Amino acid sequence: MDSTFTHKCPNCSGPLFFDAKDQKFHCEYCLSIFSEADLTAFEQAQKEAHLQETSQDSSTTEETVQSQESTAAQTDAGDMELFLCSSCGAEIVTDATTAATYCYFCHNPVVLSGRISGKFLPDKVLPFAIEKEEAVKQFLAWTKKKWFIPKDFFNKQQIEKLTGVYFPYWCVDSDVTGEMDAEGATLRVWRTGDTEYTETKQFAVRRKGKISFKELIKNAFSKNVQQKMVEGVQPFAMEKAVSFKSQYLAGFQAEKRDIEFEVLKNEVEKEIKDYSQSILEDTAATYTRLSKVQTHITIDGQQPSYVLLPIWLVTYNNHSGDDKVYYYAMNGQSGKVSGELPISYKRLGMMGGIIFAVLLVLFLIGGYMI
């Protein structure tokens, strides 16, 4: 059974939240602030002390194991699972892929340990760099540039739905050896007097080399139905990714992967080979035309890593229009946005009526003057 835990303040045991603005961990109770190194050192010392204590008392160990095992229980409701909050003991219902969330009773951030351990332990995490206040500000600035948006799209309740989520991805590095044989031709046209001359030169073109692909990002979450929209907020600053520590999930939601790399392997290899062929052909761009192209691409090595990437996400159900669910995403590092906004047909109709009235008045005035 999976257990839950909350990263707690070393000073007062209040819940800690990761602050994207200063990249540190804040306690809302005693206002203490901790770096990742300080928090990790404290939690490691606590863990070692706990292990030493339990090793001295076997009965205590047995009770601890039983306590941990009682913190989670599965329901019979399909893929939904039931956990107990480690802070207040309240029940938390999640789906099978949730790795971090909130307790709806005490509002403390909760991490589901079994979802981020063993084979599901991420290799890296790219921490949020944009806090919610800034994300809301950028969201409103983006929407205000759009016309005919429903009025309730801007209300407080809607804006508060903006949620920071760590989505799971595969990040792939590949080394490739590529060869290309082709026939290239160059044309030179000139005119002397009334005569036009064309000179054609034929070449045997051969290219061979090694290509390295870094950080090809592939979705690892089957429920990510708006994958094209999420791809629209790429690229991610992967050079800022750090070795995974669950502390970075504090205060955010997170999903675990449910697509294994083996499922994507053929798709990734095809994409890499297509990229490689395109790169080889680009090296012969000086020729007027290229024909009889033959390529041979060999993938020498491939290294996938499991990463969590930060995205601010909000949804809107347009009940006053087409009753469609709209999704908006923002890159939690760069602030790049992607999404489709709803249209208020009432506002659109009103604007159309105003334009028609103005044109009618102008027409009447023009006709009167004539």
Position 260 pLDDT exceeds 50: yes
330: β partners = 312, 337
Position 270 pLDDT exceeds 90: yes
Position 139 pLDDT exceeds 60: yes
pLDDT band of residue 67 (cuts 50, 70, 90) is very low
- The pLDDT assigned to 329 comes to 86
Least confident stretch, 83-87, 217-221, 252-256: 83-87
Position 78 pLDDT exceeds 50: no
H/E stretch holding 44 reads helix 36-56
Position 354 pLDDT exceeds 70: no
User: CA-to-CA distance for 284 and 179, rounded, in angstroms?
Assistant: 13
User: CA-to-CA distance for 328 and 317, rounded, in angstroms?
Assistant: 12
pLDDT band of residue 201 (cuts 50, 70, 90) is very high
Site of tokens 């979802």: 115
Q: What percent of the chain has pLDDT over 70?
A: 75
What's the gap between Cα 164 and its chain centre? 10
Backbone angles phi, psi at 288, to 5 degrees: -65, -40
H/E stretch holding 305 reads strand 289-317
CA distances from 68 to 8, 55, 62, 327 (A): 17, 16, 10, 38
Least confident stretch, 34-38, 252-256, 352-356: 352-356
CA distances from 305 to 79, 96, 222, 255 (A): 26, 22, 18, 16
User: CA-to-CA distance for 126 and 238, rounded, in angstroms?
Assistant: 7
Q: What percent of the chain has pLDDT over 90?
A: 45
Which of residues 69 and 134 earns the better pLDDT score? 134
Position 348 pLDDT exceeds 70: no
- The pLDDT assigned to 358 comes to 61
pLDDT band of residue 1 (cuts 50, 70, 90) is very low
- The pLDDT assigned to 342 comes to 61
pLDDT band of residue 117 (cuts 50, 70, 90) is confident
- The pLDDT assigned to 70 comes to 36
Backbone angles phi, psi at 206, to 5 degrees: -135, 130
Do 252 and 165 contact (CB within 8 A), yes or no?
yes
> What would the mean pLDDT of 240-261 be, rounded to a whole number?
92
Which of residues 54 and 332 earns the better pLDDT score? 332
**If you average pLDDT over every residue of the chain, what do you get?**
81
Do 90 and 105 contact (CB within 8 A), yes or no?
yes
Which of residues 157 and 278 earns the better pLDDT score? 278
DSSP string, 171-187: EEEEEEEEEEEEEEEEE
What is the four-CA torsion angle of 304, 309, 314, 318, rounded to 10 degrees?
-20
Taking the CB of residue 17, how many other CB atoms lie within 10 A of it?
Answer: 17
- The pLDDT assigned to 142 comes to 73
- The pLDDT assigned to 155 comes to 63
